[in-house]
Amino acid sequence: MIYVIARMELNEGCKDAMLAVLEKTVPLVLSEEGCIMYTPCLDVEEDKSEKFLTIVEAWKDRDVHRAHLAAPHMAEFREAVKDLRKGCQVEIIAPAL
């Protein structure tokens, strides 16, 4: 299993629009083979909750995650959010024990 932590810095005033896009995207991702978890999260610190959105993901393995990235709905997602975020930092990690 692998975990993916995708932390997006949002453009000012774009949180609601980002959540609207994710509301459509999340069910599609959860239906993908090998997807164990795909959970958008907001920062619990109030001063960061409008600036950052993190998606916590769990996948069966790297191959299914690569297939996820190539899925047509993810291309649509990237296009839909390109003006909503400043950038995205992604970490892909695996359990150590």
Using a cut of 0.85, tell me whether the model's pTM lies above it: yes
- Among residues 59, 65, 21, the alpha carbon closest in space to that of 40 is found at 21
3-state SS assignment for residue 54: strand
Per-residue pLDDT of the chain (97 residues; tens, 9 = 90+): 999 999 999 999 999 999 999 999 999 999 999 999 999 999 998 777 789 999 999 999 999 999 999 999 999 999 999 999 999 999 999 999 9
Query: Taking the domains of the chain in order of start, what are their residue ranges?
Result: 12-85
Q: Which token pair is 10?
A: 């949002």
**Any idea which architecture 12-85 has in CATH?**
2-Layer Sandwich (3.30)
